[in-house]
């Protein structure tokens, strides 16, 4: 199996080799590794709910009550009542008729897209959509028309010019995972109505983050009744594990009967479902968490801009500091680690070649002095790099 070694050599030579780092998360904002504590600025735990006592206790209680595993897929083995409660409350939160939980956000995208689209259909997909959307499109065997990132004229041109015998679907991340910008869902809604298309929005990074009370992208633009399919994850702002789709009763019933990643996989464990439910209740009853998250994000964006850092514009807590080449990003990440800060280097194939970056994420659990220290360190490392290459 020489191809294994060849591939690994190749990615190492290009500075694209990936390794999993092991650490102990001691709080939403701090991790320990080799006896040292680091500030975590690379997590999608936007509201810090992973370490919320009510959320932790709910998971423990559910394990004692229902056990550690689900024992089978929901359609074959049945389910425990927490699932239905979570789905009802997700629907209430999203202001839809119904919702259905998947094992991950990845499986929700793959399952929903391949259930809704088939070989006669055309999917219009933003070029920076998440890998799970791309995989869902491939699995559907629909024709895929990729439009330039958030370019509504290009989308309109494709909608006008692409012949289609079946359905048209427009698919987009709500908040883009690597650029942190927001899909223009208001314009997408207008185009969808004009060209008779169904909208699917993936709010993995938008649920609990943008819109009133963290209700997501459709709520942010006030177009919730014009977006037919809202996907989300329980593993980012909700601090647990799993994914979901929210929409009409009929949509959810159809997905239950058609989405293979739902039908053929063992359901999530009680602890994960209970944690997600408790986290959703925290989010619904404490909108100040979302406010703090967004204030923290704005604070960091302002400081980075004041220091002339090459930051992509936006309002969300995903803040990309552009450094172009993969080796630069890797070097900066290791320098930041020496200073006690974890920020991930994002490189191809996750982002296009020449757009490597430090992807900094801010949470509601960070304190101002921690954020200030992180920005100081980034300023220093970026300036040090510029001096070194000059
Ligand atoms: N969609 C987007 C936009 C994401 O960024 C991610 C996770 N990185 C997912 C879906 C998948 O969600 P999960 O991690 O719950 O599988």
> Could you read off the pLDDT of 97-120 as tens digits, one per residue?
999 999 999 999 999 999 999 999
The catalytic site residues sit at 177, 205, 236
Name the pLDDT band for 216 (thresholds 50, 70, 90): very high
Q: Is the CB of 106 under 6 A from ligand 1?
A: yes
Going by pLDDT thresholds of 50, 70 and 90, the confidence category of residue 383 is confident
Select 20-51+287-389's CATH number: 3.40.50.20, 3.60.20.10, 3.90.1150.10, 3.40.50.1970: 3.90.1150.10
Exposure string over 331-370, b if 16+ CB within 10 A, otherwise e = bbbebbbeeebbbbbbbeebbeeebbbbbbbbbbbbeeeb
Check whether 390 has a pLDDT greater than 60.
no
Q: Is the CB of 177 under 6 A from ligand 1?
A: yes
pLDDT above 70 as % of the chain: 99
Residue 188 and residue 127: Cα distance in Å, rounded? 15
pLDDT at position 349 is 86
Chain-wide mean pLDDT for the chain?
Answer: 95
Q: Choose the residue to mutate in 44, 201, 204, 361 for probing ligand 1, maximizing ligand atoms within 8 Å of C-beta.
A: 204
**Does residue 102 line the site of ligand 1, with CB under 6 A?**
no
The hierarchical CATH code for the domain 53-285 is 3.40.640.10
Best residue among 45, 109, 130 to mutate for probing ligand 1, ranked by most atoms within 8 Å of CB: 130
Cis peptide, bond prior to residue 349, ω within 30 of zero: yes
Each residue of 47-102: pLDDT tens digit?
999 999 999 999 999 999 999 999 999 999 998 999 999 999 999 999 999 999 99
What is the rounded average pLDDT of the residues 336-354? Answer: 92
Instruction: Answer yes or no: is the C-beta of 143 below 6 A from any ligand 1 atom.
Output: no
Q: In the chain, what are the domain boundaries?
A: 20-51+287-389, 53-285
- The model's pTM: 0.95
Predicted local confidence at residue 388, as pLDDT: 66
**109 CA to centre of ligand 1 in angstroms:** 9
CA of 389 to the centre of ligand 1 (A): 35
State the pLDDT confidence band at 365, using cuts at 50, 70 and 90. very high
Nearest to 246 by CA among 282, 214, 215: 215
Q: Do domains 20-51+287-389 and 53-285 have the same CATH topology?
A: no
Q: Is the CB of 130 under 6 A from ligand 1?
A: yes
User: pLDDT digit string (tens) for 132-170?
Assistant: 999 999 999 999 999 999 999 999 999 999 999 999 999
pLDDT at 384 over 90: no
């Amino acid at each position: 199996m020489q191809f294994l070694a060849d591939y690994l050599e190749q990615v190492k030579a290009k500075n694209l080799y990936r390794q999993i780092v092991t650490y102990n998360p001691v709080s939403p904002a701090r991790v320990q590794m080799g006896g040292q504590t680091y500030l975590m600025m690379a997590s999608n735990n936007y509201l810090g709910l992973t370490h919320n006592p009510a959320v932790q206790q709910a998971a423990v209680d559910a394990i004692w009550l229902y056990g550690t595993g689900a024992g089978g897929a929901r359609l074959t083995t049945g389910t425990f009542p927490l699932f239905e409660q979570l789905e009802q409350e997700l629907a209430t939160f999203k202001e839809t008729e119904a919702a259905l939980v998947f094992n991950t956000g990845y499986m929700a995208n793959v399952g929903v897209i391949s259930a809704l689209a088939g070989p006669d259909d055309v999917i219009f997909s933003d070029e920076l959509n998440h890998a799970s959307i791309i995989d869902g499109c491939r699995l559907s065997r629909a024709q895929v028309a990729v439009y330039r990132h958030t370019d509504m004229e290009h989308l309109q041109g494709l909608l006008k010019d692409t012949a289609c015998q079946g359905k048209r679907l427009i698919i987009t991340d709500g908040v883009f995972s690597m650029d942190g910008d927001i899909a223009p869902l208001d314009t997408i809604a207008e185009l969808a109505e004009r060209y008779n298309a169904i909208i699917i929005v993936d709010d993995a990074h938008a649920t609990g983050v943008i819109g009133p009370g963290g209700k997501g992208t459709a709520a942010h633009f006030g177009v919730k009744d014009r977006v037919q399919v809202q996907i989300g994850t329980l593993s980012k702002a909700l601090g647990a594990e799993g994914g979901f789709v929210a929409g009409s009763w009929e949509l959810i019933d159809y997905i239950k009967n058609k989405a293979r990643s739902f039908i053929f996989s063992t359901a999530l464990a009680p602890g994960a479902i209970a944690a997600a439910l408790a986290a959703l209740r925290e989010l619904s009853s404490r909108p100040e968490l979302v406010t703090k998250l967004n204030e923290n994000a704005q604070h960091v964006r302002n400081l980075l801009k004041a220091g002339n850092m090459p930051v992509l514009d936006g309002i969300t807590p995903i803040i990309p500091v552009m450094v172009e080449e993969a080796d630069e990003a890797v070097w900066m990440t290791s320098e930041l680690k020496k200073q006690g800060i974890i920020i991930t280097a994002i490189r191809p194939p996750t982002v296009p070649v020449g757009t490597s970056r430090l992807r900094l994420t801010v949470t509601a659990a960070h304190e101002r002095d921690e954020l200030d220290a992180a920005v100081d360190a980034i300023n220093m490392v970026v300036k040090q790099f510029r001096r070194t290459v000059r």
